[in-house]
Chains A and B, each alone.
Chain A
Amino acid sequence: MKKIIAGLLLILCLAVLSGCHGRLVSQEGADTGNAKIPEKFDESQKIELVFWAKNDTNKVQTAVYTQAIKDFEAMYPNVTINLRLYADYSRIFADVITNIATQTTPNVCITYPDHIATYMTGQNVVLPMDEWMEDSRYGLGGSELRFDAPRQEEIVPEFLNECVLSGHTYAMPYMRSTEALYVNEDMVRRLGYELPDTVTWDFVWEVSEKAMEKNEDGTFKINGQKVMIPFIYKSTDNMMITMLKQLDAPYSTDNGEVLLFNDTTKGLLEDIYTHAKSRAFSTFAISSYPGNFLNAGQCIFAVDSTAGATWMGSEAPMMDIEAEQVVPFSIRVLPIPQFKPETPKMISQGPSICIFNKEDPQVVLASWLFTQYLLSNKVQLGYAETEGYLPVTLKAQKSPEYIEYLSRKGEDDDHYAVKIEASELLQRHTSDTFVTPVFNGSASLRSAAGQLIESTAKSARRKEKMSDAYIEKLYASMNSLFQLDQIEVKPAKKVTFGELPAEAKTLLIVIPCVWLVIGVSSLWAGMQKNRKKQK
């Protein structure tokens, strides 16, 4: 009986130990697809396309899409396009994944390269566009197009390169934005500081801490209100990724090796913990939209997308708080805080367009033509001007219409100064932008990067202690939560396990000890037997 119990316990131990490792997934590289360009676009064939897109709850953006569809259908009367709009990219991602399984993906989809990398784990799901781009008839700027499309060299090279995955172009950039630091300059001055053209992280932390001084009645000295969160960062994913990039610290390799959990990250989290604890720093997830606090005079430094510029500033055309809550102030639009201001680095973000492979090459060609149409000046300018986006083609950026648009900065709401300054910021800093490596699992890694900051900030506010053990535990839980130890590392099939959980380590020590005890015990029993025999 005792033998059985010991055996069962041993099996249970081994089962627990094996559970600590997680699942290993090894998949072959994505298929490069096989849709070929037809000789000719068959205009006698009725084609119905499905186009999934996101609108930033902005009616004008919806209008740009519907107008683009209408114009395209007029040029190609045999094509009908059904638009489906989503409120956020994660829902598009989830729906595409579901529809890959049932082979009911849309034809054209606005998405992020991170997501495309996941779509590509299915065979021939996403169309590689390389040959299509170069086709002299239907390729970029091709002879048979019925509209003025950009040539390949007229697409901003940095943005086009972001769409290259595993050596192939799997998307076209659609719009680009970056993050900007929106600053209440009046408050910075009142606190005794002058705002440089590019601020450092140290500057932001120092001013933010100073803004936490209170009056005897509990209100903040800087604004006389009960609420003040000097520094709010909207996307903590971007915050961590950008801080690491600025410090040349590891995040991931191009082939999917996760390097996020390192000592530089630990140092950054320790700093963030300090400022979250003093309540000088908060995040969107914890407190809500930075712009609302900025416009209410309750925030000095708000980091948000340039694509959200119309919500920033006391004169902003889009406003989420009551007019009586708005406190007038002079606003500056600056690059996000930097560790090395002389070599600024900021993230490039914004949607791209991918095409899903279909059996009928005519349908794929129609999808490709529509994708190109979304890069034409009319669509690019129409959409970019709805927010602080930058058109992705040099053709649009250099067009007289766009130059005139920029020159009218501050004239009216359509030319809201903050919005145009946000676009100009990205135009000026295009070569300072970066993107992170894209692979199946990179979207999870992004989320984990942000969650490190969210968890740290929440822990600071909840009075949990910061320590090496805290960081170690945080790393382990993020690794597990986002299944980062299951990411396939290409091409050498190297798999990173991350650090073993504490229980696994314990068992690894205990089990050899137990075997040692069993060995010694058997030896001892044998010796006793021999002695008895000898007697």
Chain B
Amino acid sequence: MKKILCLVLALSLALCAALALAESEFPEVELMTYKQYAEAEVDDPVYVETYVQATQSWWDNKITVYGQSEDGAIFIYNMTCTEEDAAKLVPGTKIAVKGYKAEWAGEVEIAEGATFEIVEGDPFIAKAADVTDLLGKDELVSHQNELVSFKGLTVEAYDETGAAFAYKNAENKTDDLYFKVSKDGQVYDFCVEFYLCGNDTDVYKAVEALKVGDVIDVEGFLYWYNGANPHITSVTKAE
């Protein structure tokens, strides 16, 4: 009789556990190659490995990750992550991410709420690909989210005031920095994303020191917002 009792209790526990798990169900998806991820449709479930290249600051159990492997780059927006785990997401860390593919203002990404696990493996740090020649061309989008570099850009006046850059929040300097650069007569919008590179970073200070007419080399992640809108991580005077 006691055996039956134990069995009933054990089964009820198992049932409860199954029901609890069902609440956070994610479709069965095989681990994808980067190519399979890239070919997946928007809103499809995806499960893919990548290497952390940088993260935006953790907040409210979420973290935004710039991921890249040798095959291509992935932007993971507001991935579910504890503060403790966020500390482990140092550049080079290999992670496997489960989520849904999404597109927001042209930026192809893994949507908010993705989950991840850290995978054993040698670290990978991407080298910036020089895409200067692709500026203004449709082919640039094939490098979306990658760490890229642009060389020999000329700083343009950001607005009618003639300033070389603009703060999103000029009073407190606690938000993004925007600046414009030109190459071969075309003007492009670049951004220092505050949650990626805050006001204490070299790049933030370098942009604050820019003058109209400066010729610079820049590096950053090729984010997209209704067109290329790189999140810049480095600015140096062109050689």
Contacts and interface: CB of A to CB of B under 8 A. Distances in A.
- To the question of whether A and B form a pair in one complex, the answer is yes
A83 interface: yes
A462 B45 contact: yes
Given A6-B5, A9-B10, A506 B16 contact: yes
Given A13-B9, A57-B168, A292-B105, A461 B43 contact: yes
A10 interface: yes
A321 interface: yes
Contacts of A513: 8
Contacts of A501: 19-20, 23
A61 to B, nearest CB: 11
Contacts of B87: none
Interface residues of A, number: 50
Interface string B1-33: 111111011101101110110010000000000
Contacts of B17: 503
Contacts of B20: 501, 503
Contacts of B170: 59, 62
A458 B171 contact: no
Interface string B172-188: 10010000000000000
A31 B104 CA distance: 45
A511 B45 CA distance: 38
B6 A9 contact: yes
A401 B167 CA distance: 32
Given A9-B6, A513-B8, A521-B1, A87 B19 contact: no
B5 A521 contact: yes
B45 A288 contact: no
A57 B194 CA distance: 15
A110 to B, nearest CB: 13
A121 to B, nearest CB: 20
Contacts of A289: 105
Contacts of A268: none
Interface in A70-95: 83-87
B102 interface: yes
A247 interface: no
Nearest to B103: A287
Contacts of B45: 462
A325 B226 contact: yes
B159 to A, nearest CB: 9
Given A517-B8, A518-B5, A84 B171 contact: yes
The A contact surface, by secondary structure, is helix
Interface string B203-216: 00000000000000
Interface string B126-167: 000000000000000000000000000000000000000000
A16 interface: yes
B23 A507 contact: no
A473 B23 CA distance: 7
A5 B45 CA distance: 41
A73 B56 CA distance: 39
A289 B106 CA distance: 12
Given A57-B168, A322-B226, A476-B23, A287 B12 contact: no
A25 interface: no
Contacts of A477: 23
A502 interface: yes
B183 to A, nearest CB: 16
Contacts of B44: 462
A8 to B, nearest CB: 9
A521 B19 CA distance: 29
Given A83-B171, A510-B8, A322 B19 contact: no
A288 B226 CA distance: 10
B100 interface: yes
30 contacts: A5-B6, A6-B2, A6-B6, A9-B10, A9-B13, A10-B9, A13-B12, A13-B16, A16-B13, A57-B168, A62-B171, A288-B104, A292-B226, A458-B100, A461-B43, A462-B43, A462-B44, A476-B23, A501-B19, A501-B20, A501-B23, A502-B19, A503-B17, A506-B19, A513-B8, A514-B9, A514-B12, A517-B4, A517-B5, A521-B1
Interface of B: 1-6, 8-10, 12-13, 15-17, 19-20, 23, 43-45, 100, 102, 104-105, 111-112, 168-172, 175, 226-227
Interface of A: 2-3, 5-6, 9-10, 12-13, 16, 55, 57, 59, 62, 66, 83-87, 285-289, 292, 320-322, 325, 458, 461-463, 473, 476-477, 501-503, 506-507, 510-511, 513-514, 517-518, 521, 524-525
Given A292-B105, A462-B100, 6 more contacts: A463-B43, A501-B19, A506-B15, A506-B19, A507-B16, A517-B1
